[in-house]
């Protein structure tokens, strides 16, 4: 079945980096963009950026420019989101979610989420 | 960035009630709007896409309408399993942006 499976929870110290993976299965990897969305505890949803698995092009929210890097590995149908210079405000659940390249632009499948805790 | 303003932020209703949530965009987004349901500890789930299209497998008591800047999400007859937080989301322009959410509770 179609699914996105994310890596496990992480605990990091301020200033460190974290790399979260999202492995896709059950569909053609390059037919869907992959987005990253985060949610701080008790807060709403915040869009972080997008990667095109076909060519690897990316676009990031201005808020994260310079701190976030999204990459992909087509051989394993996996996308990665790395966030550097972590601070306490980055404590959140990070989700990957796919959007059809040619068609409706809706997040129709989401990963299960990865909790990232930033604490000294 | 396009700002999405949802109201109300929270809502208490009884089983069987008709429930309406509104979402206003800071500029014209045509029908480029989706609605999601999120239950505690779970990822969001797509309910409505392109403002008014029901996602496959979603019960018909859920509906959406609107275009331009003003949108409405309706549950025609509230069920206990509908307790969740609901978000609108625009995709007219990057960055995609979400409303702040509406927390729905049972009265």
The pLDDT profile of chain A, 120 residues, written as one tens digit per residue, is: 999 999 999 999 999 999 999 999 999 999 999 999 999 999 999 999 999 999 999 999 999 999 999 999 999 999 999 999 999 999 999 999 999 988 889 999 999 999 999 999
Percent of residues, chain B, with pLDDT higher than 90: 100
B23-46: average pLDDT: 97
**Average pLDDT of span B21-37:** 97
Provide the token pair at B41.
Answer: 């500890």
Residues 6 or more apart whose Cβ sits within 8 Å of residue B69: B24, B25, B26, B27, B28, B29
The shortest CB-CB distance from B43 to any of A50, A62, A112 is to A112
Angle A41-A85-A39 from CA coordinates, rounded to 5°: 20
For testing contact with chain B, the best of A2, A6, A45, A113 (most B CBs within 10 A):
A45
Structure confidence at residue B76 as a pLDDT band (50, 70, 90): very high
In this structure, the dihedral spanned by the alpha carbons of residues B19, B23, B24 and B29, taken in order and rounded to 10 degrees, is: -130
Task: Provide the shortest C-alpha distance from residue B49 to chain A (in Å).
Answer: 6
Instruction: Please determine, for residue B103, whether its predicted confidence score (pLDDT) is greater than 90.
Output: yes
* Average pLDDT of the segment spanning B60-82: 98
B46, B95, B99 member nearest A107 (Cβ): B46
* Residue B82: band (very low, low, confident or very high) from pLDDT cuts 50, 70, 90: very high
Per-residue pLDDT at B78: 98
pLDDT for A47 equals 98
- Cβ contact, residue pair A107, B99, below 8 Å: no
pLDDT of residue A92: 98
The B residues from 68 to 107 touching A (CB cutoff 8 Å) are: 87, 89, 91, 94-101
Q: For residue A38, count CB atoms less than 10 angstroms from its CB and return exposed for 0-12, middle for 13-18, buried for 19 or more.
A: buried
Mean pLDDT of B6-21: 97
Pairing status of strand A114-118 against strand A10-12: parallel
Chain B residue at shortest CA distance from A4: B43
Nearest to A106 by CA among B21, B22, B55, B3: B55
Structure confidence at residue B72 (pLDDT): 98
Chain A interface includes B55 (CB < 8 A): yes
């Amino acid at each position: 079945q179609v699914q996105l499976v994310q890596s496990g929870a992480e605990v990091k110290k301020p200033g460190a980096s974290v790399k979260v993976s999202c492995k896709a299965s059950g569909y053609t990897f390059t037919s869907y963009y992959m987005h990253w969305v985060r949610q701080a505890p008790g807060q709403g949803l915040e869009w972080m950026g997008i990667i095109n698995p076909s060519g690897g092009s990316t676009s990031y929210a201005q808020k994260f420019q310079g701190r976030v890097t999204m990459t992909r590995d087509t051989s394993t149908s996996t996308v990665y989101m790395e966030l550097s210079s972590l601070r306490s405000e980055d404590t959140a659940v990070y989700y990957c979610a796919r959007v059809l390249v040619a068609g409706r632009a809706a997040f129709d499948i989401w990963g299960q989420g990865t909790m990232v805790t930033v604490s000294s | 960035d396009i700002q999405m303003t949802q109201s109300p932020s929270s809502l208490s209703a009884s089983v069987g009630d008709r429930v309406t949530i509104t979402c206003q965009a800071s500029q014209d987004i045509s029908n480029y709007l989706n609605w999601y349901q999120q239950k505690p500890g779970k990822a969001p789930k797509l309910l409505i896409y392109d403002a008014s299209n029901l996602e496959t497998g979603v019960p018909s008591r859920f509906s959406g309408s609107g275009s331009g800047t003003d949108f409405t999400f309706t549950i025609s007859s509230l069920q206990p399993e509908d307790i969740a937080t609901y978000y609108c989301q625009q995709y007219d322009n990057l960055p995609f942006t979400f409303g702040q959410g509406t927390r729905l509770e049972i009265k």
